[in-house]
Structure formats: C-alpha cells, structure tokens
Structure 1
Amino acid sequence: MDGTSALLEHASCVLFDFDGPLADLFAGHPASRIADRLRRRAGRLGVPPAELPETGDPLRILRIAARHDSTGRIAAELEEQLTREEVHAARTAPPVPYADRLVERLVADGRQVAVTTNNSARAALVYLQRRGLAGYFGSHVHGRAADPALLKPHPDCLERAVASAGTSPADCLMIGDAPSDFAAAARLGVPFVGYARNERKAEELRQAGAEHVVRSLEDLTPTTALA
C-alpha cells in the first residue's frame, strides 16, 4: 500500500474541498467575471478603487473589501452577491471525473464525508442535491464563515467539520486542490492529499509542502479499502 492509499485507509472521515475536488464550479460561469462584478460593486460601496486590483479571484475582492469596512456592511453585501453567483454556477457545474464514485464508495465503506470550502455552503448544497449526493454528506457541509478572515488557509471550516463528525483531526483526511487547502489542513493536523488537474496545479501543491498529490480521483479508490 502506497502512502496515499494508507492515508485513505486510516481516515474515518474524508473532508473535500468543493470547487476542484468535487465540482468544476465556475466552468460555465467564470470566476473572473464574478470578480469584476464584485470589484465594481465594492467601489460603489466605498472601497477605494486603488485598493481593488484586477484579479480573477472573487474571494480576494471580498478580503480586501473587509479590510476597508469597519461596520461589516460592505463585506456582508459582497458576500451575499458572491453567494448568489456561486449558487447560479452550481446549477450547471460539471462534476470532477470520478468524484461522485469516490464519495459513494467511501460512504459504502463506512466512512463519513464532509465539505470544507471557501465557497458558500448554499452553493455546495445546490450542487450536491443536483448530483444526488446530498444524502451522503448530510449536515456536514461547511462553507465560508461571515468573517473573511476565517477563509482558508485559516482552518475554521475544517474545525467545524471535524467537530461535527465527532472525530479527531488525525483520523480525517483532507482532499484539496490549492495551497490554502494544504495550509489549513496542516495547521489543524489533518492529513492531506492534493488533487491536481494539471501539472501546474501539482507543482503549486508540492511547493506548498504537499507530499501526496494525485492527478485523478480514480487514484483514490484503493481496491483494498473500497472494493
């Protein structure tokens, strides 16, 4: 058994990042366009335009806006707009190859599964219901908190998932596709496997410190544990 299979064999609960390991959330609703809309609205709400960079990452806009918002009103309005955009994207987002099958087989083997994501929990639930997977996750869908400071790499959503599963960090496994996923897992002491859809993503994960990286979720269905 290789190291990756051993991690999965040991885990009683598998924590999935949402966009990347489970779904290609923004395939038909590009994140860059959402970021543009959030940037324009943040400017109208009073965030200095010079502080709002050209970026394809909506969460970066949310974080920056929160730093210029002592009342929390701006961040709350932008977060709600982002949630609506993500819910819209979730209605058509395609699955990552082998993701559905991996979830089904993990649960069939007696493991718990949870979502730990910087995306909205509402969007994740819309997607899971559409794919017929919501029952496998139950109440274990943990999205971003109201405070942008608690987004990964902060381990907040992982902490909530571990607590709801009634297990320990060491008995879980995080499957993520970004350095922030690895950092959050490392801070909490959760073993980590990186999923990389291309070599660029794989190199980013390795440079962040991820020891175990797979290019296909098919590699995370070991016959010994999940046959």
Structure 2
Amino acid sequence: MRELISDAECVLFDFDGPVCRLFAVHTAESIARLLRELAAELSLSALLSADLRASPDPHSVLRGIAGQRPGPGVVERFEAALTREEITAAASARPTPYAATLIAALSTRGRQVAIATNNSPLAAQHYLDRQQLSGYVGGRVHGRTADIALLKPHPDSLHRALASARTRPERALMIGDSVSDLRAAEAAGVPFLGYADDGAGAEALRGAGARHVVRSLEHVLTALITPTFGPDAPF
C-alpha cells in the first residue's frame, strides 16, 4: 500500500463508488427505466435485448442503444437524458467514507488528483463543487463523451486524465471499484488499487486479477499520512 501511494504522482479516481454513491437516492434503476421509456417514445424498444429491458443499469441501456447504431442524433439524445439524471443524482449522492479526506490529503501533499469515469463529467463536477473538493481536483474531471464506444474498459478517460496531469502511466495510480476500471487501468499501463465496500465486490476484483484491494479508503489514507520509521512501520 505504501509503495503504491508513495510512487504515485497522480491518483485517478473512478467517480461512482470510490468518491461517492452517486445513485444512493436517485436510483440507477429509476434512470434505466426512464431510458427505456424514452426508447419506447422513439419506437426503439425493439433495439433492446430481453436482458436490457430488465436491466437496472442505465449505462448498459445506453450501450445497448448505441451498439445498434440508430439514426443520427438518437444516441446523443439518450446520452443527454442520462446526463440530466446523473446531475440530479449528484445533488443527493452520498460521500464514500474517507474519500474527501483522502482527496484533500493527496493534493496538499503534492499529488495531483483526477477523475476518470463513465459518468457525465458535469455530474462529477457538480458533486465536487457541492462537496468543496473542486480545488483539489483542479478541473481534471474526465468522463463520458459522445462516443459511447470509449467508455471503460476502454482507457480513453484515463489517457485524458493522464494528459491533463502531465503524468506518465507508471507514475499514476487508479482507484476503481469495477472490473472495467481494472481493465482500463491495465490497458493504460496504470497501477490499480481496487476499492470494494463489501466482500462480493472485493472477490470480483481479485478474481479478475486485481492484486491490491481495500474495503475502506481509510487504509489508503493511513498509508499516505503515517510517517515511515523503519521496517516495523505500518504497511
């Protein structure tokens, strides 16, 4: 843990999970349902597989629509609808324990902090502003673009985050809570630290090959702020 954090000049956070629970109140299920209602309104329900018609994940619904290559402007309309709902969700998102303190501690100790997420960058920025964390991130918020094919596990958002921080991949650290975060970090050549607040999530990350997984960001914070006094020091 201490090596991971001490070697990192820039720490990239996934947003929903490591920074906050975005859909704690305004749920993902309700947003996925709204996107399906939009598909029905546009006579596009036939483009959704049986799995997507029952999926609680709005990103899966968006990917499903985009993968069918509908007419001009259709994907943009769905993405805009998802963005509006994510901004609404950001207003009631619940902070991940120790995330804000860790972000502040990283920044004040000379590390750059960036966000690399599949969520709308507008939603992430709204949350950071509300939690008074924007100054620590310095505008390095990189999220979903109009090209849905570039969502993680594609490393696009990580590449943009690294470029904004002017940091080489091997001198960064990605903190993520999903296998797609892990795969994006691997593709970008960025060391990865998995975060999972339950055993099932931790096991999924380890099963996918994550070498380092924590159940609380307190461990990362402790490794960052605890002085090293020799071989018996923590971590």
Match of 2:12 in 1: 15
Match of 2:232 in 1: none
Residues 125 and 134, structure 1, Cα contact 8 Å, conserved in 2: yes
Q: What amino acid does structure 2 have at the position aligned with 1:125?
A: Q
Task: Give, in angstroms, the shift of residue 70 of structure 1.
Answer: 4.2
Root mean square deviation of aligned Cα: 1.4
Name the CA shift for 1:77/1:100 in 2 (closer, same or farther; >3 Å): same
Task: Give, in angstroms, the shift of residue 47 of structure 1.
Answer: 2.4
Q: Which moved more, 1:174-183 or 1:50-59?
A: 50-59
Larger gyration radius, structure 1 or structure 2: 2
Q: 1: distance between equivalents of 2:186 and 2:44?
A: 33
May I ask how many residue pairs the two structures share in their alignment? 224
Name the CA shift for 1:180/1:81 in 2 (closer, same or farther; >3 Å): same
Q: 2: distance between equivalents of 1:205 and 1:107?
A: 27
Q: What amino acid does structure 2 have at the position aligned with 1:150?
A: L
Q: 2: distance between equivalents of 1:48 and 1:87?
A: 25
Unpaired segments ≥5 residues, structure 2:
228-235
Match of 2:36 in 1: 39
Match of 1:83 in 2: 83
Q: TM-score, normalised by structure 2?
A: 0.91
Task: Report the secondary structure of 2:54's partner residue.
Answer: coil
Q: Which moved more, 1:63-72 or 1:179-188?
A: 63-72
Task: Report the secondary structure of 1:127's partner residue.
Answer: helix
Q: TM-score, normalised by structure 1?
A: 0.95
Task: Give, in angstroms, the shift of residue 54 of structure 1.
Answer: 0.8
Q: Deviations over 1:28-87 (max 9, x none)?
A: 011011001101212322324353431011011101111223444111001001000000
Percentage of identical aligned residues: 50
Task: Give, in angstroms, the shift of residue 225 of structure 1.
Answer: 4.9
Residue 140 of structure 2 corresponds to residue 134 of structure 1: no
Unpaired segments ≥5 residues, structure 1:
none
Task: Report the secondary structure of 1:46's partner residue.
Answer: coil
Match of 2:25 in 1: 28
